[in-house]
Amino acid sequence: MARVTLENVTKVFGEVVAIKDVNIDIADGEFLVLLGPSGCGKTTALRVVAGLEKPTTGNVYIGGMLVNDVHPKDRDVAMVFQSYALYPHMNVYTNMAFPLQMRKHPKREIDERVRRAAELLEISELLKRRPKELSGGQRQRVALGRAIVRNPKVFLMDEPLSNLDAKLRVQTRIELKNLQKRIGTTTIYVTHDQAEAMTLADRVAIMKEGEVQQVDPPTQVYAGPANRFVAGFIGSPAMNFIEGTLVTREARLMLDAGEFIVPIDTSLSEAIKRLEGYEGKTVTYGIRSEDVAVGSSPFDGGVEVSVFGTELMGSEQFVHARAGKSLVVARAPMTFRVSIGDRAWINLTSSNAHVFDAKTGRALV
């Protein structure tokens, strides 16, 4: 177990900046998820920690020791690859024993540790099989087994569940979380799947174009996104964004979106008023679907919208509506009756809403 620190790490491939000035401090035993769209640099960051890539500038520390020039084999990290990277010519037992053989552990100890790890992962009966004789889920367990068998300081996982079918993925991610808590090893986990990030992580680091946007616990990332990118990336359906200008009408702060006006919740407006030059400022107003109130008849403060789609999700439904130039998704109970083309009314004022600088995307409150 160890603390892992990336300090101003930049990695450049030719002319492409894969990661830029990354600073993340991962506590001992923490489960950190690197989350972001394809090409955001999350895998590069992981490979830098593994030692498979050398940072162009910046430092990587594992357990307080600077490891920039330490060979991957001497970093005492274990990695689970997206492809599992099981050695096809070895059986499960030898695959799991390999890291211990490389470290010259005595035969008896190797045997003991492989069998213990196999038991923990419930793959004891597969030990004699070759990888090609295993299902995707079993291969994934063997890859995990190979990682945990030698009790490394850090686990590095590169989208290890992405090749599993949806049902198995959900089941495995819960098991993985429990396993990590039981073993207590510091884990860095790369994924582009936000559901995986939210369920597994102690903290999530969201990346975009090589830069870390925010590092916070999942609830904080969801409830208090640092910028518009994070707000839009986390949550399903994505947060609603409405462009507009901050104006004061009848002593109340409002968002003038052109075709309609949204009164800003008092708790937010107090905070905005403390900012300099807010009046007349162009901003992006963000509100999640569950904070949008929707009704089929006019109500006080309701903005009239036209419904252009509904998605039934089981106990609830997503109502897609057009409000002026903006598209808004509202969450409504299953019993809410509305059809495509109907008029509906929505209330966009909420204390959970967010206001972002229209230019920089930074959260103002």
Partner 1 sequence: MIPQPKSSAKVLSVVKSAFKHLFLIVMSIVSIYPVLWVVSTAFTPGETLATGWTLVLGFVPVPTSPTLEHLSFVFGWKDFGLWLTNSALVTSSTVVATVAITLPAGYALSRRNFPGRSQAMFSFLLPQMFPGVVTIIPQFLIFATLGLVNNYLGVIIPYTVSSLSLSVFIMKSAFDSVPKDLDEAAIIDGASEFKAFRRILVPLTLPHVATVALWAFMGSWLDYALAHVMLSDNSLWTLPLALYSLIQPNYTLFGTFAALSVIMAVPVFIVFMVFQKYLVSGLTAGAVKG
Residues that bind partner 1 (CB under 8 A): 50-52, 71-73, 77-79, 81, 83, 85, 87-89, 98-99, 102-103, 146, 150
State the nearest-atom distance from the C-beta of 47 to partner 1, in Å: 8
The whole-angstrom separation of Cα 68 and Cα 45 is 13
Nearer to partner 1, 82 or 248 (CB): 82
State the nearest-atom distance from the C-beta of 76 to partner 1, in Å: 9
State the nearest-atom distance from the C-beta of 287 to partner 1, in Å: 43
- Annotate 189-205 with DSSP letters as a single string: EEES-HHHHHHH-SEEE
Nearer to partner 1, 13 or 299 (CB): 13
Is the bond leading into 237 cis (omega within 30 degrees of zero)? Answer: yes
User: Cα 102 to the chain's mean position, in Å?
Assistant: 34
State the nearest-atom distance from the C-beta of 54 to partner 1, in Å: 14
Nearer to partner 1, 73 or 325 (CB): 73
State the nearest-atom distance from the C-beta of 111 to partner 1, in Å: 17
Q: What are residue 220's phi and psi, to 5 degrees?
A: -70, -40
Nearer to partner 1, 93 or 345 (CB): 93
The alpha helices in the chain, defined as continuous H runs, are: 42-50, 92-102, 107-120, 136-148, 166-183, 194-200, 218-223, 228-233, 266-273
The whole-angstrom separation of Cα 262 and Cα 279 is 15
Q: Order of strands across the sheet with 65-66? A: 16-26, 4-13, 57-62, 65-66
Q: Which amino acid is at 175?
A: E
Nearer to partner 1, 49 or 221 (CB): 49
State the nearest-atom distance from the C-beta of 86 to partner 1, in Å: 8
State the nearest-atom distance from the C-beta of 142 to partner 1, in Å: 12
The whole-angstrom separation of Cα 211 and Cα 203 is 16
Pairing of strands 31-35, 186-191: parallel
DSSP lists the bridge partners of residue 311 as 318
Nearer to partner 1, 79 or 206 (CB): 79
The whole-angstrom separation of Cα 160 and Cα 263 is 45
State the nearest-atom distance from the C-beta of 80 to partner 1, in Å: 9
Nearer to partner 1, 138 or 310 (CB): 138
Nearer to partner 1, 99 or 218 (CB): 99
Residue 87: which residues within 8 A CB-CB, separation 6 or more?
Answer: 94, 95, 98, 131
